[in-house]
Every structure is written in structure tokens, then in C-alpha cells.
């Protein structure tokens, strides 16, 4: 078994070094923090389009507009601008849009956090006012899955079309997105630990090299701790 830590992967003592298991520490954090945590879903709920919700019962792909991208981007911009103007640290949870990633990229670029050697951002999240997490459901599925899954995918914020989901992966791999929000998939309904759905998905991402192990560790723990978020560590074993 191999333990994934900051900038290194090392063998775990007294385990088979030839097995195909990564061991991660995941920061299981709570909503009440010393810094302000803003859930976009709470603000988007006030903008819920009931007419589109009725339409989605017939054409499920239209559900994305129950909470429109325009409303989400406006909310994000207002939070971002307010944090910068008031010199206030905030962490925004559940981004879904390419435009939000671009705003963060531009901000981190001004702060000289772009590393040309790796062609990615190397952000010190303890020194930025605004950071963001993406909810795992918003990278697990995309707009084309609505037809198959129907109401099982009726989340807030909604799963967007394929291009926006790709942008979420890009934000993670470019070092722009600070965290991956796992709840409620972090714990099974029986309270017996991490769900198999979550483990299978993350295993697939590592195998297909959509997310590298060190990058995954950063968005599950290290970056969030740099942001100033507190919680408890949960061990996660992922097959690869």
C-alpha cells in the first residue's frame, strides 16, 4: 500500500508494496469555520425557476436551467468582488462554471501564483482572499446523463453540460480549484464509511489519469487546510 502525502508517495510499513492501493487522508470538515464558507446552493435556491422545474419532468436535460448559469455567475461575481473590496477571506463551495474558474485564474495570476515550469498554478491558499471547491457530483456526471438518470441528478447546483464539466476538471488539474467537496457520498446511509460509488469514481479518475494522485490529495486535504478549513482526517483507500 502506498500513502499519498504532500509532494510524495511512500510505501506504508508492513503492507504489500506490490498491491495496487493508494491510501489518502481526507479532511472531513464541518460547515462552521473560522473563515466564511459560502454554499452557492443556498443562494441559488432563492433563484429557483419553477417553470423550468416542471419542464424538466418531461425533458430532464432542461434541469440545468432550474438554477441558471447566469444566476450562478452573478452570485459568484458578487461574492468575489465583495471579498476583494472588503479584504475578507471566503471559500465558495459548489462552483460549476468555466467562467468562475477563469475569474479565479485571473486573480491568482495577478498574485504571481502561476508556475511557468509546470504550466499550472501553484497557489498558496493561505494568502488568497477567495478560494473555491467543486462538488463531486458536478464532475461525476454531465448534461448527457440526465436522460438516463432523471431525478437522481436533480441537484442544486445542477450538473452542467459537458464543456462545463471539462472546465471543472481543468480547474482541478491547473491548481485553481482548492477543494473537492465529497458530502454526502463521503459516508454511506448506514454510517459505515465511504460509499463504494465514491471509491469507484475516484479509482477510475486515477486509472485514466484524469486526476493525478498528488493532485487528488491536495484537493482532499492539503489545499483545504491551507485555506484555513478545519476538520478531522478520514482514511480512504483507492484501488488503481
Lowest-confidence pick of 35-44, 85-94, 181-190: 181-190
The candidate with the shortest Cα–Cα distance to 238, out of 23, 28, 25, 27, is 23
Per-residue pLDDT band for 184 (boundaries 50, 70, 90) equals low
Q: What is the pLDDT of residues 127-161, one digit of tens each?
A: 999 999 999 999 999 999 999 999 999 999 999 99
Is 76's pLDDT higher than 60? yes
| Peptide bond between residue 157 and the one before it cis (omega within 30 degrees of 0) | yes
The answer to whether 88 and 36 are in contact (CB under 8 A) is: yes
Q: Which CATH number fits domain 29-204: 3.40.630.30, 3.40.50.620, 3.20.20.140, 3.40.50.410?
A: 3.20.20.140
Mean pLDDT score of the chain, rounded to an integer? 93
| Residue 173 confidence (pLDDT) | 97
**Whole-angstrom distance, CA of residue 161 vs CA of residue 166:** 9
DSSP-derived letter for residue 51 is H
Q: Answer whether 0.85 is exceeded by the pTM.
A: yes
Considering the chain, what percentage of its residues have pLDDT values greater than 70?
A: 96
Per-residue pLDDT band for 30 (boundaries 50, 70, 90) equals confident
Amino acid at each position: 500500500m502506498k500513502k499519498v502525502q504532500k509532494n510524495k508517495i511512500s510505501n506504508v510499513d508492513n503492507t504489500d508494496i506490490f498491491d495496487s492501493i493508494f491510501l489518502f487522508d481526507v479532511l472531513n470538515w464541518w460547515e462552521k469555520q473560522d473563515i466564511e464558507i459560502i454554499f452557492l446552493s443556498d443562494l441559488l435556491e432563492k433563484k429557483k425557476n419553477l417553470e423550468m422545474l416542471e419542464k424538466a419532468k418531461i425533458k430532464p436535460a432542461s434541469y440545468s436551467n432550474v438554477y441558471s448559469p447566469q444566476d450562478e455567475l452573478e452570485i459568484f461575481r458578487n461574492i468575489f468582488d465583495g471579498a476583494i473590496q472588503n479584504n475578507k477571506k471566503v471559500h465558495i463551495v459548489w462552483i460549476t462554471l468555466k467562467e468562475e474558474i477563469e475569474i479565479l485564474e485571473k486573480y491568482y495570476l495577478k498574485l504571481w501564483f502561476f508556475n511557468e515550469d509546470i504550466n499550472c498554478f501553484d497557489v498558496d491558499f493561505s494568502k488568497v482572499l477567495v478560494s473555491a471547491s467543486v462538488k463531486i457530483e458536478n464532475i461525476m456526471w454531465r448534461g448527457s446523463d440526465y436522460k438516463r438518470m432523471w431525478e437522481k441528478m436533480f441537484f442544486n447546483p445542477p450538473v452542467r453540460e459537458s464543456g462545463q464539466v471539462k472546465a471543472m476538471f481543468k480547474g482541478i488539474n491547473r491548481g485553481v480549484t482548492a477543494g473537492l467537496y465529497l458530502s454526502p457520498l463521503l459516508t454511506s446511509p448506514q454510517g459505515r464509511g465511504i460509499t463504494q460509488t465514491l471509491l469507484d469514481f475516484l479509482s477510475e479518475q486515477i486509472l485514466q489519469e484524469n486526476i493525478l494522485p498528488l493532485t487528488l490529495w491536495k484537493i482532499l486535504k492539503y489545499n483545504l487546510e491551507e485555506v484555513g478549513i478545519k476538520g478531522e482526517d478520514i482514511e480512504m483507500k483507492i484501488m488503481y
